[in-house]
Structure 1
Amino acid sequence: MRTRKLCCLTVVTAAAVALELAALPRAQATGTVASGGPEPLHVVRPGQSIQTAVELARPGDTIELLPGVYRENIQITTSRLTIRGAGSRTVLRPAKKASSNACGKAGHGLCVTGTAQQPVTNVRIQSLTVSGFPKNGIWATHTDRLRVRRVTAADNGQQGIGQEMSIRGVFVRNVLRGNRESGIHLVNTNAHEAGAIDTRGAEVAGNRLSGNGLGVVIRRLRNLTVEQNTVLGNCGGLFVIGDENRPRAGDLTLRHNAVLENNRLCPANERLPAIQGAGIVITGSEGSRVTGNQVFNNRGSSPMSGGVVLFNSFVGVPNTKNEISANVLNGNGPVDLADRDRGPKNTFTDNVCGTSVPAGRC
């Protein structure tokens, strides 16, 4: 009798296991496991393909990357995905032969790509390193609410993290170092002339940017905040770039950043003059606020050198209606505060500095 009970129990247990396996997320096909939480969890180990997990994932899924080096290019076109690594122990690097997807063909490391008609929404990328790609470490196009957090983007050929034609992005607590052009580069579009995009409250906050060409570049955008970043040892620190297109670039807030010793030399190229010792540079902006920043020891002899510099846009459009207030500037050269384009209705109040052009701006 006892033997029969054990036999029957074994049959019932096997049937229960079969039913449980049938109910697991389809991510199990790649050897991943369910989290037991509210969303399926795809676990990827070194030697496995991140891209395969991305293609199997559905909106709401999380892809967890275990510690190790992954050599591939990742293309994300699905909304509401989370890519989560193990901090500095999870590293994405180029393969000997780039992936055949669009991201690999472009030379980027990890891409999030939507369309004007159907943006990719609510993708989260966090806690990994993206390093050594010929173009951009992370590049996003047509996204809404992209969040990049605790990512290190280092030694990439153009931008560490870049985004275009996107809104409501959040970039917080990242480390950007040694990227050839800029650490963080947010733009309406690099492909053609267009007016500024209203980002609807995008945020760049709490990042550390060092040894890049430029620290943060905001080009042809509106309604965005750059705050509490440490920008150290680049050719230039924070750059706001506008031009004659409408809507005008502007309505930006740059506040409580530490912009220090950005004294590397970036030689002139076909788009920019030589840049060295440029702290915060505002060109062609309308109605932006630069307030409460600490800007120390940015020194050089290029046209945009100095602590906080208002400069004509590269097509000659002046800054207008910008507010420069309550900044502390010291040791910048040739001056701490420079109003070099004399655009209309810019105001300078309560700044603590030693030198300005014209005199009296401190």
Structure 2
Amino acid sequence: MAAGLGVLAPTAAAEAGRRVLPGDSIQDAVNYARPGDIITVMPGTYYENVLITKRLTLRGFGARTVIKPPVTAVTPVAPAVPPASGTAPAPAAPGAAKAPAAATAPSGRALACSQADSGICVMGTAEQPVVGVDIRSLTVSGFKRNGIWASYTDRLSVQRVISEKNGTWGIAQERSTRGLFRDNTARDNAESGLFIANTVDREGGATDTLGAVVRRNTLTGNRIGVTVRRVRNLSVYGNTLTGNCGGIFVVGDEGEPGAGDMTIRNNRIHENNKFCKGNSRLPDIQGVGIVLTGAEETVVRSNDIRGNVGASPLSGGILLFKSFVGATNTDNVIRDNVVRDNKPADLANQGTGTGNRFVNNRCASSVPAGMC
């Protein structure tokens, strides 16, 4: 009937989306893609930075699709006019992210991505956030700063990604809402394996993430497994954190609204005993399970936290730590956790915060005594 009415059925190329082969440029495919396109990156190693500023799916083959830093830094640039849907751009030289001949001048966002030495950047603006980007089954490795960096996004999904050996964060997001981070592996990154913040370049109250989810990720060998800084309204659950200097950090400050209103549950946080030297913001970090500092109305429940041992002021199983900027922990609930063999204590409540409750935790030691 459709053919009889002159309606053309979708072509096989359109149904399949766009495919990037070794020697092609992922950035070219992204530039030419229309909103909603699926870009499949075939197994191979690609040496480039990738900037995404529109709704699309970027997917690969897990450990077999690897994105590494370009040998010579090249700024990704958006084309002036994309070709017809389903038409692949001409291949670029191996390892390059060369702009098409008809490309416009580099945008500020493109420069921010390439000059920041990040692998994949998803970047919107305050006036027009990028909505609905899906990144999955890729490996980003060895970038000077971040494996994946996102700013001004909504409903960003990062799933089954390996982000390793990057100089700052493995997977990071700021100024964003409703993110989903699931089934990823972040390992051996210099700072947090997974980092969610309000902003990274200025002060301000906590961002309401509108229900961001950090679920079933494996975080190992990082400075900190998961850091949620100056944000509200999210859940961190079902993750495995081991071999980091610290497990989970919830960080707030004196800004309004305060950080917190989140749930941290059903995580396995074992033997995060790597030693990380302190810096201007934090003391030495070693043997840290979960730290709340400057947090409010956060529920920490049903986690298994064992064998986190160190001599840092932050060491131990679950710690409510006094904030360096004077923000207090208030109205947090620590309940139904198994907290064993952590030193100097399984549970600790420091500072002058009020309304914090420790309920039905299975532990052997606490500071002050009597919370087990």
Q: Do the two structures share a fold, i.e. TM-score over 0.5?
A: yes
The alignment status of 1:67 with 2:43, answered yes or no, reads: yes
More RCO (CA 8 Å, sep 6+): 2
> Which stretches in structure 2 are left out of the alignment for 5+ residues?
1-5, 76-109
- Counterpart mapping for 1:269-284 below 5 A: 269-284=279-294
**1:11 corresponds to:** none
Which whole-Å CA distance do the structure 2 matches of 1:50 and 1:116 have between them? Answer: 26
Q: Supply the RMSD in Å over aligned alpha carbons.
A: 1.7
Matched AA of 1:188:
N
Matched AA of 2:35:
P
Q: Deviations over 1:275-332 (max 9, x none)?
A: 1101000000010000000000000011110000000122021100000000001110
Which whole-Å CA distance do the structure 1 matches of 2:366 and 2:352 have between them? Answer: 13
Which whole-Å CA distance do the structure 1 matches of 2:202 and 2:9 have between them? Answer: 49
DSSP 3-state at the match of 2:45: strand
**2:30 corresponds to:** 54
The alignment status of 1:188 with 2:163, answered yes or no, reads: no
Query: Bigger radius of gyration, 1 or 2?
Result: 1
Which whole-Å CA distance do the structure 1 matches of 2:54 and 2:157 have between them? Answer: 14
The alignment status of 1:34 with 2:10, answered yes or no, reads: no
The alignment status of 1:147 with 2:157, answered yes or no, reads: yes
Which whole-Å CA distance do the structure 1 matches of 2:219 and 2:166 have between them? Answer: 13
DSSP 3-state at the match of 2:263: strand
User: In the TM superposition, what is the alpha-carbon distance from 1:35 to its structure 2 partner?
Assistant: 5.0
- Counterpart mapping for 1:201-216 below 5 A: 201-216=211-226
1:89 is aligned, of 53, 64, 86, to: 64
Which whole-Å CA distance do the structure 1 matches of 2:252 and 2:324 have between them? Answer: 9
Q: Which runs of 4+ in 1 moved over 2 A?
A: 22-25
- Counterpart mapping for 1:244-283 below 5 A: 244-283=254-293
Moved more, 307-316 or 168-177: 307-316
The alignment status of 1:311 with 2:321, answered yes or no, reads: yes
**1:293 corresponds to:** 303
User: In the TM superposition, what is the alpha-carbon distance from 1:343 to its structure 2 partner?
Assistant: 1.2
- Counterpart mapping for 1:349-360 below 5 A: 349-360=359-370
- Counterpart mapping for 1:100-115 below 5 A: 100=75, 101-102=110-111, 103-115=113-125
Which whole-Å CA distance do the structure 1 matches of 2:290 and 2:216 have between them? Answer: 17
Matched AA of 1:69:
T
Matched AA of 1:88:
A
The alignment status of 1:156 with 2:166, answered yes or no, reads: yes
**1:218 corresponds to:** 228
User: In the TM superposition, what is the alpha-carbon distance from 1:105 to its structure 2 partner?
Assistant: 1.2
- Checking the alignment, whether the CA contact within 8 Å between 1:46 and 1:69 is kept in structure 2 is yes
> Which stretches in structure 1 are left out of the alignment for 5+ residues?
1-18, 26-32
DSSP 3-state at the match of 2:292: strand
**2:3 corresponds to:** none
Which whole-Å CA distance do the structure 2 matches of 1:54 and 1:23 have between them? Answer: 24
Percent identity, please.
Answer: 53
DSSP 3-state at the match of 2:173: strand
**2:73 corresponds to:** 98
DSSP 3-state at the match of 2:137: strand
- When normalised by structure 1's length, the TM-score is 0.90
User: In the TM superposition, what is the alpha-carbon distance from 1:230 to its structure 2 partner?
Assistant: 0.2
- Checking the alignment, whether the CA contact within 8 Å between 1:99 and 1:105 is kept in structure 2 is no
Count residues in correspondence: 333
Which whole-Å CA distance do the structure 2 matches of 1:215 and 1:121 have between them? Answer: 26
Which whole-Å CA distance do the structure 1 matches of 2:161 and 2:363 have between them? Answer: 35
